[in-house]
Each structure stands twice: as structure tokens, then as C-alpha cells.
Amino acid sequence: MTVEDMEFLKKINDFAEKELGDIDPQKTHVSEQLEKLRPIMQKLAMEYKMEVEDVFIRYMDLASEANVTADREFRDRFGEDDVLDLPIQ
């Protein structure tokens, strides 16, 4: 992921944290979540001279890439086992 990609993703994630921070994503329709993200998507579309739909697609691609990287780093650190053997105190 390039520096520009990371900045692009960070802008949306920071906005989403503020706008979506208090909602339960499991109980809120995706369409409602996307509507709350529309202002940042429109702003980035103008900034990067893209269609809003292309901003969304780029965001989804970058978010997926970031999740794969985070998962890989987690597995490198803690192993492939899906269950962590943490001591209970």
C-alpha cells in the first residue's frame, strides 16, 4: 500500500470513527452506514477527481488489504492457532 493509499484510507477511517463511533454495525443497515460516510466520500471524489462510486470501491479495496495485512501481522506474532492461550487471572 502506498503512502497516498494509507492517507486516503485514514481520511475515511477517521471520519467514520467520528460519525459511526456510537452505532452497532451488526444492527445498522449498510445503506445507513454508507449514507453517513457520503460527505467524506464526496469530498475525496472532488479532491482526487474521481466518481463517488470509485472512491467507495477504492476504499473497500484498501480496507480489505489493510485487514489482510493486520491479520498476517497478528498471526506472525501469535501463531496460526485461532485460540490464544492467555493465562486467566
Q: State pLDDT tens for residues 15-53.
A: 999 998 888 878 888 888 889 999 999 999 999 999 999
82's CB contacts (< 8 A; 6+ apart) are none
42 close to 32: Cβ distance less than 8 angstroms: no
Q: List phi, psi (to 5°) of 3.
A: -60, -40
Does any domain span residue 11? yes
Average pLDDT score over the chain: 89
Spell out a b/e string for 65-75, using b for 16 or more CB atoms within 10 Å of the CB, else e.
ebeeeeeeeee
What is the number of domains present in the chain?
Answer: 1
Is residue 19 domain-resident?
Answer: yes
Does some domain include residue 43? yes
pTM for this structure?
0.77
Q: Collect all residues with Cβ–Cβ distance below 8 Å to 39 and sequence separation of at least 6.
A: 15
